[in-house]
Amino acid sequence: MTRATKILYFAALLIGLSIGGFFSFRNTTRFLDVSHDVQRQTAPWVLRDFAYIQYRNADHEHANAALLTYANFLEEFQKTYPENPQKGELAVVYTRLALLEDAANNQEQSRTYMTKARFWYSPIVGGRELSDSEMKFAVNKMDARMQ
């Protein structure tokens, strides 16, 4: 094997490794980034679906616990990832909590939850205040459509 062939083979090896490695590294990191973003968006759906089904089917105590767990999770999630706002979802969850308290005749607690619901909802509609009954009506209508 001459010196020229050795150089040729070595160059082929080096160029092949570099090109393969570079593109594969770039594509894999892009894929992992996208995959992580998608998982971050969809993982909370487990709690969302659970909280909703509990709200529809479980007793007051368990439904309340599931909705509160979801609300606390969303607040933490929003704090950790401010780029993924959960304001609308939080408004809906707190309204459901208020509706649950209405059903149990706990008016004081219901008002507390509606204050939180309005807090999360107002930024979405440009600060326009919605009445408690308007918000409850909207959530009830949405839930009826989901049935």
Partner 1 sequence: MKKGRIAVWFSVALAIFLLSLSMGSYLGSRVARYWYRHKQQTQIRSDGPERAHMESTLSRLNEVQYLQMFAATISSDKKLGEKYLLKNIGALEDIERKSDLQEIKPAIDFNLGRAYVYAALMEEQAHNNGQASRYMKSAQNLFQSLGWSDSTEETLKTVATRELDKWRIPPQTKESGK
Q: Which residues bind partner 1 (CB under 8 A)?
A: 5, 8-9, 11-29, 32, 36, 39-40, 42-47, 50, 53-54, 57-59, 61-63, 65-66, 69, 72-73, 76-77, 79-80
Rounded least distance, CB 83 to partner 1, Å: 14
Rounded least distance, CB 33 to partner 1, Å: 8
C-beta closer to partner 1: residue 15 or 142: 15
> Could you write out the DSSP letters of every residue in 76-126?
HHHHH-TTS--HHHHHHHHHHHHHHHHHTT-HHHHHHHHHHHHHHHTTTTT
C-beta closer to partner 1: residue 5 or 133: 5
Rounded least distance, CB 145 to partner 1, Å: 14
Rounded least distance, CB 76 to partner 1, Å: 6
Specify burial of residue 63 (Cβ count, 10 A radius: 0-12, 13-18, 19+).
buried
Token pair for 116: 């939180």
Give the DSSP letter of residue 2.
Answer: -
Residues 6+ apart with CB under 8 A from 124: 87, 88, 91
C-beta closer to partner 1: residue 66 or 139: 66
C-beta closer to partner 1: residue 90 or 130: 90
